[in-house]
Amino acid sequence: MRDGRVTLFILVAGAGYQNLVLCLLQHGANVDQIGVKGMTPLMVAAQGGYPDVVELLLHNDHGVDIQIKSHDGITPLLHAIQANHSDIIDLLLQSGEDIECLGVGGVTPLMHAVWMGSVKACERLIDLGADANAKDSNGRRPLWWALENRNEKIASMLLESAGGRR
């Protein structure tokens, strides 16, 4: 399908219809099909919070690209972070997604979670070893992002995780 279209595969993945996703995969659907805004079935399932569909897409024989980015430079992991789905964050990281992958502006997944104000995602990423002292392309660390958003809980979490270094 052409870019910019809402396809059946993207619709069923984004609605969490695991059996229909499986059926489409068995009939040769392109697992990395690109739709509106460069979104793939994996991205819409991650964003929608459908771990069973995400797992099916990750563990099929068609080799889904977990590092693919939508038109706005966002990976499936960042979509899961935006939607605050820590179970899907785990699945993507267990499948080889880089916990320090850089998005637009050199932003790491942890920085993205901090910016989104997602305490749950921040906790999970820190628990999994995300670097709380990483710098973006402007030299800002996750703590800067937390303070910019006036998020005291996340700032405290980052200070504790980073050992108090600034």
pLDDT at 105: 79
pLDDT at 54: 95
Residues contacting residue 87 through CB under 8 Å, at least 6 positions apart? 51
Length of the chain: 166
Count of C-beta atoms within a 10 Å radius of residue 69: 17
Q: Are residues 146 and 113 in the same domain?
A: yes
> Per-residue pLDDT for the chain (166 aa), expressed as one digit of tens each?
445 577 899 999 999 999 999 999 999 888 888 888 889 999 999 999 999 999 999 988 778 888 888 888 888 999 999 888 889 999 999 988 888 888 777 889 999 999 999 898 999 999 989 999 999 999 999 999 999 999 999 999 999 887 644 4
pLDDT at 96: 85
- Specify the number of domains making up the chain: 2
pLDDT at 36: 83
| Continuous segment of H or E residues that includes residue 55 | helix 51-58
DSSP single-letter state for residue 114:
H
**37, 68, 97 - which closes a domain:** 97
Q: Are residues 158 and 113 in the same domain?
A: yes
Q: Are residues 11 and 92 in the same domain?
A: yes
pTM here is 0.84
Euclidean distance between CA atoms 117 and 154, whole angstroms: 8
CATH number of the domain that residue 12 is part of: 1.25.40.20
**46, 62, 97 - which closes a domain:** 97
Residues contacting residue 86 through CB under 8 Å, at least 6 positions apart? 120, 121, 123, 124
Euclidean distance between CA atoms 60 and 111, whole angstroms: 30
pLDDT at 164: 45
